[in-house]
Chains A and B, each alone.
Chain A
Amino acid sequence: MRKRSVLPGFGLTLGITVCYVSLVVLLPVSAMVARSTSGGLSGFWAAALSPRALASYRLTLTASLVAASVNAVFGLIVAWVLARYRFPLRRVADALVDLPFALPTAVAGIALTTLYAPTGWIGKPLAAIGIKVAYTPIGITVALTFIGLPFVVRTLQPVIGALDADVEEAAASLGARPWQTFLRVVAPAIIPAWLTGFTLAFARALGEYGSVVFIAGNMPMRTEIAPLLVMTRLEQYDYSGATAIAVLMLGASFVMLLAVNGLQSWSARRSA
């Protein structure tokens, strides 16, 4: 029942895709799942749902969500400015956006900690008005915001750059004020890319470890993120405990990414 398609190579490319994804993604994940239940199901749940683990999930999720949301707002503005306007040093600003990609995360963590510590450039004035950033959940959010920015900017920038100017001119000539043009004409066109950027930033934040551990303080129950808890368990040779937490995180992330992807394709269909 094979139909000839104009685009050749379906069988071959699908085969490669399945093999590659299995080898690179599915195999390690299944090994992890297998390892996590080596202590029996009750051991799995005990490790995965211990109060300390639950606290770390809550922290990781909220900090990642807040960071991704902050990036969604400011990343949109940055992408808009970079795509729309020509100004001196635009290329420099453009390159700066990629820095969180390129920087070793530990370096970023140390830099942020130095800045936000109670003796740092930003931490000192903030401490004076009673706001503590380093070694608190706020500090974790700052680090996650830092590493997530490029994802939002880089997904939105080409889409904003490709918007037709005449569509906005049409809206304006029909009497729409700038905010109406943005909400009714521009926003529907960029929402799919925006959601993608948000998802990527969020996913990256969930798994981020290197830049957070320095600024977090890592106090169990208060400023300990889930990836760090996994590391701690590993250092204690509690492999099944570590993998149990990892599996739960993985499952939760996967469900959330799936949901956002669904939302995104729904909005892409609407604005097609």
Chain B
Amino acid sequence: MVIKVLYFASLREAIGMPMEIVPLPSGVTTVGALLALLAERHPELLTTKNLRCAVNQTMATKETGIADGDEVAFFPPVTGG
């Protein structure tokens, strides 16, 4: 099972990549579990203030479920307009 993970803005710069394909161990079925897994390699995910997340381009929370082929994005609070 693999998912596509995207990073934006200051988080993209801190992590040093805009996107990665991540194989999911069984048992990682929520955004929160994915975040814990990714944070082992990217501690910036835990130090970003008010980290936001989207699953398949819709705003999500740590409880949101993830499945094979999903697109999960992490980013700081938005500042458009």
Pairing of A with B: no
Q: Chain A interface (Cβ within 8 Å of chain B)? A: none
